[in-house]
Each structure stands twice: as C-alpha cells, then as structure tokens.
C-alpha cells in the first residue's frame, strides 16, 4: 500500500494490511527463509510538525530448513513497528523523509510504500541462522542419523573415519 504523506489527516491514519506471501517472494530469495502465509500488519501514521511517526505491529509466518537437522520447520515472527522520520525539504521542493540514525528508516519522496516498512522490520527479526529449536541435536556427523529422533553409538566409540568426518562441515544449500 502506498501512503501519501500529505494526505495523512492531523488526527492520524490507521491501516490494517494483509499482503499475500507471493508478493514478497522475491524479497526473500537467496535467504534460508520463505514466507509461508500472508503477512499481516496494523500501522498507525501520525504526522507532526516536520515529522512522521509509524507505530504498529507486523506478523508473518516463515518456513526454513534447519541448519542442524535439515528438517523443514515454520515459525512466526511478530514484532512491533516504531519508526520516526523527520521531513526535510529535498530537491525540487519535494519533501524527503529521513531518519537520523538508521538506514532502513530513510525514505525519499512524499510517499511511503508499506511493503518497505514491513520488510525492513521483518528483516531485523529473522534469525541469522535457521535452527528449528535451540536444543536441536542435529545429525550425527558420523552416521547421519537425526539425533532428535534416534540415538547412535558413534559418540561413544568416537573412532572417526576421516572421510566421514569431512561431512561434519557439510551443509545442504
């Protein structure tokens, strides 16, 4: 949704958004994550003298393959949105929106694409490595069994075949 800053009434503007996962597909290409459901958000826009506030919340369902056990898992990201922009006179008398401290908060022009806002917030919340659970035990580096489901005797023996040991660092892309 495109919000024209000049059309935000002085009492503020509240919007409910539901975006299709397909529309965000390209944004997560190349990352370990895919959106697995619609992205929902509630945003409130408030204009002040030379400033703009965006408050609200965004939530989305993601799926990924666990780095440790290689099983697919899904998780929900729900995060508050709280952004502040200052408006500066830009080129050609256009207004520009700039946030002093963060890159993702800088916008130019007098329009805001809510997609950029939502993506920026979600990107901050997505974990760096995809792990299905903190205590996922992963695959045994020696025999490859999923240690969450089965146990093996490798650890006890610890006589590691060098060729198999190389698999320890192998990751499926």
Binding-site ranges for Zn ion (CB under 5 A): 66, 68-69, 132, 136, 140, 142-143, 152, 154
When the beta carbons of 126 and 154 are compared against Zn ion, the nearer one is: 154
The torsion of the CA quartet 54, 40, 30, 67, rounded to 10 degrees, works out to 110
Torsion of CA 114, 118, 120, 125, to 10 degrees: 170
Q: Find residue 76's DSSP bridge partners.
A: 61
- Residue 131 CB, nearest distance to Zn ion (Å)? 6
C-alpha span between 85 and 108 (Å, rounded): 11
Q: What is the separation of C-alpha 110 from the centre of its chain, rounded to a whole number of angstroms?
A: 25
Question: Least distance (Å) from Zn ion to the CB of residue 17?
Answer: 32
Contact 15, 43 (CB under 8 A): yes
- Nearest-approach distance from CB 126 to Zn ion, in angstroms: 17
Decide whether 95 or 152 has the Cβ nearer to Zn ion: 152
- Shortest Å, Cβ 70 to Zn ion: 7
Whichever of 2 and 156 has its CB closer to Zn ion, that residue is 156
Q: Which is nearer to Zn ion, 95 or 136 (CB)?
A: 136
Contact predicate 108/90, CB 8 Å: yes
């Amino acid at each position: 949704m495109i919000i024209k800053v000049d059309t935000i009434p002085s009492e503020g503007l509240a919007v409910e958004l539901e975006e299709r996962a397909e529309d965000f597909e390209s944004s997560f290409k190349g990352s370990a994550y895919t959106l697995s459901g619609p992205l929902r958000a509630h945003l409130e826009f408030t204009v002040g003298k030379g400033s703009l506030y965006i408050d609200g919340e965004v939530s989305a369902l993601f799926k990924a393959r666990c780095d440790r056990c290689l099983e697919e898992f899904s998780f929900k990201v729900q995060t508050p949105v709280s952004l502040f922009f200052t408006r500066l006179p830009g080129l050609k008398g256009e207004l520009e929106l700039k946030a002093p401290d963060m890159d993702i908060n800088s916008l130019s022009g007098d329009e805001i694409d809510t997609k950029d806002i939502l993506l920026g917030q979600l990107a901050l919340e997505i974990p760096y490595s995809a792990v299905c659970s903190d205590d996922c035990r992963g695959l045994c580096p020696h025999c490859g069994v999923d240690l969450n489901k089965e146990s093996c005797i490798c650890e006890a023996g610890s006589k590691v075949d060098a060729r198999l040991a190389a698999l320890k660092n192998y990751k499926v892309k």
